[in-house]
Amino acid sequence: MIVIRLIWESLRFAMQALKSNLTRTILSLLGVTVGIFAIIAVFTLVDSLERNIKDSLTFLGSNVIRVDRFPFSSGPSQYPWWRYFRRPPSNYSEYVFLNERLKSASSVTIFASTRTTVKAGSNAFEQANLDGVVQNHKAVYDIPIQEGRFFTPMEINASRNVSIIGVKIANALFPNQNALGKEFKIKGLKFIVIGILQEEGEGLFDTPSKDEALLVPYGAFNKLFYVGKNGIEPTIAVKGRDDDPGLIALENEMAGLLRAKRGLRPTEENNFALNKSEFIQDAVGSIFAVISIAGWVIGGFSILIGGFGIANIMFVSVKERTGIIGIQKSLGAKNYFILMQFLFEATFLSLIGGLAGLLIVFGTTFVSLGNLEIILSFKNVLLGVGLSSAIGIASGIIPASLAAKMDPVEAIRMA
């Protein structure tokens, strides 16, 4: 009951402080509002950007190691691209070799990619993302099929002219029709649609989208384009197991097998790069961590000003209510009761400013920024509320302590 009474009286006094001098109180709380807005707005924008960027990088896969000529990571001044350029590309025999011998992998795939134009009658779709894949591809990368099915082993092994297409391609080639079972042409060769991928929507960057994807068997891709050195270079990708954190065991095993397959001597360096898909995502996270620190610095100055503003309100409030404090103490009110009363009041005032800042941030989530979807997360709301409460406590502790230590006789005399 005491706690409820404290909260009610503190809320009542806080409302009185707001009403008694509305302009002064609003100006004092403006610092907290701006500070909370600055910090939470930066965090919300950073979280939204990071989430959208990572979603745009889903085509790299999760828990996957790729065999490439060029590494994902290396400093610009130490990037010997001319040496990487001379490395041999991956090939189908290496895929078979790894697929038969890897023990630390859950699945292995090889694929070749290019952009091409597809046609169906008078309709055409340019710059489709064409991938030639094998049966294991769906075990390494997410292939969400909305209608139809994936390739059968017989279709892959026989290099059948069948295809799985994205929603944009389906709508462009077969408007107002069901694309399943329909025929279209790639470089004059007829292909039959056996599956349609789930709609993915627009990404933040110009990264490969499943809506513009076109999958065919790896052998069928070879009938359309030359694959190999001086042609389209295929990529081998290996999915790691869940019991191999960091994919350390898989990376070491892949390196040993590829060195053996390519006949490298112990003194020779690797002529291939093993790229983890998580590297780019971790790099993105590191960049945004620095931006978050900048948000703390920017918002910290505003919060500091807001804290002084609330402390000023509380000092004035203590002075105006000196007589009331004296009467309460003469009637037996304990020091902690007076202390908590003013601390609650400072916290409520700070929360009002913080909630105003959060409300402004929430309003910005309705602003359209192209393909960037801005979402105010529950985590950031809790951060804003917690930060506001901490500011209120820090700003009100000194005035509240002074009020709690007042002598009741002196307090009544000063009133």
Q: Rounded CA gap, 255 and 259, in Å?
A: 6
- CA-nearest of 78, 126, 47, 128 to 292 is 47
> pLDDT tens digits for 229-282?
888 999 999 998 888 777 889 999 999 999 999 999 988 889 998 988 777 666
pLDDT digits (tens, 9 = 90+) for 32-54: 888 888 888 888 887 887 777 76
> For the chain, what percent of residues have pLDDT higher than 70?
87
Q: Work out whether the CA dihedral 161, 153, 238, 110 comes out positive or negative.
A: negative
335 Cβ contact list (under 8 Å, min separation 6): 404, 405
Q: Which residue has the higher pLDDT, 213 or 344?
A: 213
pLDDT in tens, 307-356: 888 888 888 878 877 888 888 778 777 787 788 878 887 888 888 888 98
| H helices present in 183-276, as ranges | 218-224, 248-261
Least confident of 93-97, 256-260, 397-401, 411-415: 411-415
Question: In this predicted structure, what is the pLDDT of residue 242?
Answer: 80
* Residue pLDDT, tens place only, 84-141: 888 899 999 999 999 999 998 999 999 999 999 999 989 999 989 999 999 999 999 8
For tokens 């703390």, the residue is 296
Going by the DSSP 8-state scheme, the letter that residue 45 receives in this structure is H
If you average pLDDT over residues 381-407, what whole number do you get? 87
CB 62 within 8 A of CB 276: no
Res 74 pLDDT > 60: no
Contact 354, 390 (CB under 8 A): no
**Dist. CA 341–CA 317, nearest whole Å:** 12
Cα–Cα distance for residue pair 172/169, rounded to 1 Å:
5
* pLDDT on residue 83: 79
Task: Evaluate if pTM is beyond 0.85.
Answer: no
β-pair partners for 68:
273
Element (H, E) at 316: helix 277-320
3-state secondary structure of 42: helix
Per-residue tokens: 283 = 């790099």
